[in-house]
Amino acid sequence: MKIDVIISADDIKEEKIKGKSVVVIDILRATSVIVTAINNGCKKVIPVVNVEEAKDIAYKDRDLYLLGGERKALKIDGFDFSNSPLEYKADVVRDKIVVMTTTNGTRAIKRSSKAKNIIIGAMLNAKAVAKRLLEINNDVVIVNSGTYGQFSIDDFICTGYILSLLTESTNVELTDISTTALYIYQQNNDITSFIKYAKHYNVIKELGLFEDLKYCTTKDITNVVPEYRDGEITAL
């Protein structure tokens, strides 16, 4: 199994992902939100790039659709939820459809559309994602959403964790960037010792969202593996 890593949504190129199994990661916080919402019984998540596009979909049926996401890490005017996974509780998301727009994560998902499979990964479901990749047994590209087109340490260390799980279970051929992500994780498998250097982690911290940070950096609380297909994210 060949495994490559793309370090930001801006760096996704069709030739790098075509026919591959892609895992999109944005642990702070889009993919943590998606995993949480699906785990809590949400029917599906529809990721869209623009706020207006999100509203157009949701306004068709405000009983069925929920609006979630962020701009500059804050809730969008007129939306039901911000980008905090802790808001997506079972009693509010069950049997609903979440329409979501975020700066980095939803963009990375949409830009990965030429991949064979597009799996939504986070610390929260990393083991389940690795298991799913082993079942598919295809070459893998782990797409780090990054932050505003930049490499982001938080996504990179989650990538390293998934790589460590795959490396334990199968023969892998790593690119240099994959090797580096694996090394960073192996040196910092408590996660927080390295993630504290991430600029975006500190942005969220400065907003006082300590519970979000604690939750989003927790390993393997669910076996749910959301997958993006034909514009929608559903559990397998």
- Nearest CB to a copy of itself, comparing residues 186 and 223: 186
CB of 175 to a copy of itself, least distance (A): 6
Q: Which residues pair with 140 in a beta bridge?
A: 3, 21
Select 55 or 196, whichever has its Cβ closest to a copy of itself.
196
**Residues binding a copy of itself (CB under 8 A):** 7, 11, 147, 150-153, 156, 175-177, 179-180, 183-184, 187, 194, 197-200
What is the closest distance, in whole angstroms, from the C-beta atom of residue 98 to a copy of itself in the complex? 28
Q: At 143, phi and psi to the nearest 5?
A: -95, 115
Note every long-range contact of 167-176, with CB atoms under 8 Å and residues 24 or more positions apart, other chains counting. 169/130, 169/134, 170/1, 170/134, 171/1, 172/1, 172/2, 172/3, 173/1, 173/2, 173/3, 174/3, 175/2, 175/3, 175/4, 175/5
Q: For the CB of residue 233, give the shortest distance to a copy of itself in the complex, in Å.
A: 26
> Rounded to the nearest whole angstrom, what is the least distance from the CB of residue 173 to a copy of itself in the complex?
10
Minimum distance of a copy of itself from residue 90's CB (angstroms):
34
Whole-number minimum distance, CB 228 to a copy of itself, in Å?
A: 25
Residue partners of 215: CB distance under 8 A and separation at least 6: 32, 85, 86, 124
Do residues 113 and 17 lie in contact, with contact meaning Cβ atoms separated by under 8 Å? no
| Cis ω before 71 (30° cut-off from 0) | no
Considering beta carbons, is residue 191 or 224 the nearer one to a copy of itself?
191
Q: Which C-beta is closer to a copy of itself: that of 83 or that of 178?
A: 178
Mark 172-188 as b/e (b = at least 16 C-beta within 10 Å). bebeebbebbbebbeeb
For a copy of itself, give the closer residue by CB, 8 or 82. Answer: 8
Tokens of 55: 């509203």
Nearer to a copy of itself, 94 or 199 (CB): 199
